[in-house]
Structure 1
Amino acid sequence: MKISFVGKGGSGKTTLAALFARHLAGTTAPLLADATAPLPVGMPAPLLAGTTAPLLAIDADINQHLAAALGASEHEAVLLPALGDHLGEIKEYLRGDNPLISSAAAMVKTTPPGRGSRLLGVGGANPLYDSLVREVGGIRLAVTGPFATEDLGVACYHSKVGAVELLLNHLVDGPGEYVVVDMTAGADSFASGLFTRFDTTFLVCEPTLRSIGVYRQYVGHAREYGVRVHVVGNKVDDASDVDFLTEHVGEDLLTWIGRSSYVKAAERGTPQPITALEPANRDALDLMRGAVDSGTKDWATYTRQAVEFHLRNATAWANDRVGEDLAGQVDPDFVLGPTAVDLAGRAG
């Protein structure tokens, strides 16, 4: 499942993304393998209970703090390879030998996969992961990269996040596999179709009117596209905070995280094992995982929305920038998903 964390700046979404990723890494798969079920060629078998689920975390926020939240030092975080600095390499690899894409330079952030494209899995090795993914605090992490001084006044951060959109458009996740993405704050993710690339979106909401305002704005856009949104309250002190959130978000409130000495210690540079998290907050993370696992994959809709936003971007700006009609990149008979591995090929 692909999971995003969104919310107002300062709401704690990066902290919760890190907590959730560490929780997934510290617990075992809830699924039992069904030896009788046929599997498409190239897809992994369902996980055995007791094994750790494949997990990939991605920092797609303009403020790059997920590595630090996972336990990296400032020096270690700075040295992480940035997806945004390797966009050409990413395009060249994902293009594969797709005959509809004239060149890697003709690929844009919304270019969908088709027959001949290389598809990615959550786990396993491939050249992109080998060069761009690093383990931080026991979590495999890829980072978009910071908005650098040389970008000021001449670049848009969404061009960097475009690397994440391309990866997610080409990523086939199987049962019990997780991709956790820390997104840009507020409604910035609506600048492209990136907000539709997730099976579950956790909107982190403080018990404040400003945070509720971001919730209303986000949900107003997301629901038009069937995006599955759960609100997770954060920095909750008492029952009045829960009542406030319930009053304003209603049934969208899935659970909440209380003030945490565990989180405070981590933010002061003394991280502890995830098992030291307060029991009530661990229960909240369990509820979140349950909400993710109860979701269903709709690969046809996922592919249709990718194509929709690609055609929008092509008409709005990409055709002029590239110098060709990018509608021709759409493979009308291709649907991303397990069966697409036979048509395109899982990257390796």
Structure 2
Amino acid sequence: MKIAFVGKGGSGKTTLAALFARHLAADGAPLLAVDADINQHLAAALGATEDEAVLLPALGDHLSEIKEYLRGDNPRIGSAAAMVKTTPPGRGSRLVGVTTPNPLYDRLVRTVGGVRLAVTGPFATSDLGVACYHSKVGAVELLLNHLVDGPGEYVVVDMTAGADSFASGLFTRFDATFLVCEPTRRSVGVYRQYVGYARDHGVAVHVVGNKVENSADEAFLREHVGADLLTCLGRSGWVRAGERSGAQPLGALEPANRAALEVLRGAADAAVKDWRRYLDQAAEFHRRNAAAWASAKAGEDLTRQIDPEFTLTGR
């Protein structure tokens, strides 16, 4: 299952993404975590030091290499330069699995805190005025378009905060979307904005209450998000200790919060995998990008990259 963590900045989105990834990894689940947030903090949340996090290879710095590998010998794609973030796979494209060895993983995936991690890379000073962060996140979208996950396998992606996720079709690349929501008006406002977009595309959103201290907090969330509220995590001394002195042993996490992680896993496992819809949505956003800017930039009709006879059947 491909799983996204979204929500307002400061809601605890990255912390919960890291916590959930560690929870899965501790159980031996095949897993790939991806940091697609403009603020690259997932590695630190998994236990990396600042120096270790800086040294992680960045997907955004290897976009041409990623394109060249994924296009394979797809005859609809003349060159890596003709690929854009929404380019879907077709016959001849190279697909990747969650744990299957391949040159991209060898170069760009590292294990942090027991979790296999790929990072988009930070928005650097050199990017100011000449680059868009969404061009870097395009590496993640391309990877997910070509990633075939099987039963019991997980891809956990820490997304950029708020509605920025809708700047591309990336928000449709997931089987389960967990929106982390504090019991505050601002956080609920982000929820309303997010689901307003997501439901237009059939994206199911599960709300995960965070920093919930009492029944009044939970009642506030339930009043504003209704049946979308999946579970709640309370304020955590375990999390606070980790923020001060590094990642803590997972076994010391509060039992109620550990139980909430199992609820998240159950929701992810219950999601229905629909490969046809997955491809159709990829094609939809590729057409949009082609019409808006990509075909003009490439000097060719990029909608021809869509292979109507190609199927993703899982493994």
Question: TM-score, normalization: structure 1?
Answer: 0.90
In the alignment, structure 1 residue 127 sits paired with structure 2 residue 103:
yes
Q: Alpha-carbon deviation of 1:273?
A: 1.4
Q: Alpha-carbon deviation of 1:335?
A: 1.9
Aligned-partner Cα distance in 1 for 2:100–2:249: 26
- Percent identity between matched residues is 77
Q: Alpha-carbon deviation of 1:154?
A: 1.2
Q: Alpha-carbon deviation of 1:6?
A: 0.2
In the other structure, the counterpart of 1:280 is: 256
In structure 2, the CA distance between the partners of 1:319 and 1:270, relative to structure 1 (3 Å rule), is closer
Q: CA offsets, 1:167-224, max 9 Å, x none? A: 0000000000000000000000100000000000000000000000000000000011
Task: Describe how 1:280-319 pairs up with structure 2 within 5 A.
Answer: 280-319=256-295
In the other structure, the counterpart of 2:18 is: 18
In the other structure, the counterpart of 1:230 is: 206
Q: CA offsets, 1:270-308, max 9 Å, x none? A: 422111100000010000000001111000000000000
In the other structure, the counterpart of 1:241 is: 217
* Structure 1: stretches of 5+ with no match in the other structure: 28-51, 340-348
In the other structure, the counterpart of 1:321 is: 297
Task: Describe how 1:42-57 pairs up with structure 2 within 5 A.
Answer: 52-57=28-33
In the other structure, the counterpart of 2:168 is: 192
Aligned-partner Cα distance in 2 for 1:171–1:287: 25
Task: Describe how 1:1-348 pairs up with structure 2 within 5 A.
Answer: 1-27=1-27, 52-338=28-314
Q: CA offsets, 1:118-159, max 9 Å, x none? A: 000001210000000000001000000000000011111000
Aligned-partner Cα distance in 1 for 2:184–2:310: 45
RMSD, aligned α-carbons: 0.7
- Secondary structure in 1 aligned to 2:23? helix
Question: TM-score, normalization: structure 2?
Answer: 0.99
Aligned residue pair count: 315
- Secondary structure in 1 aligned to 2:277? helix
Asked if structure 2 preserves the Cα contact closer than 8 Å seen for 1:90 and 1:163, the reply is: yes
User: What amino acid is the match of 1:148?
Assistant: A
Asked if structure 2 preserves the Cα contact closer than 8 Å seen for 1:113 and 1:336, the reply is: no
Aligned-partner Cα distance in 1 for 2:313–2:60: 26
Q: Which segments of structure 1 move beyond 6 Å, counting only runs of 4 or more?
A: none
Q: Alpha-carbon deviation of 1:78?
A: 0.1
Aligned-partner Cα distance in 1 for 2:230–2:6: 15
User: What amino acid is the match of 2:157?
Assistant: V
In the other structure, the counterpart of 1:31 is: none
Aligned-partner Cα distance in 1 for 2:131–2:118: 21
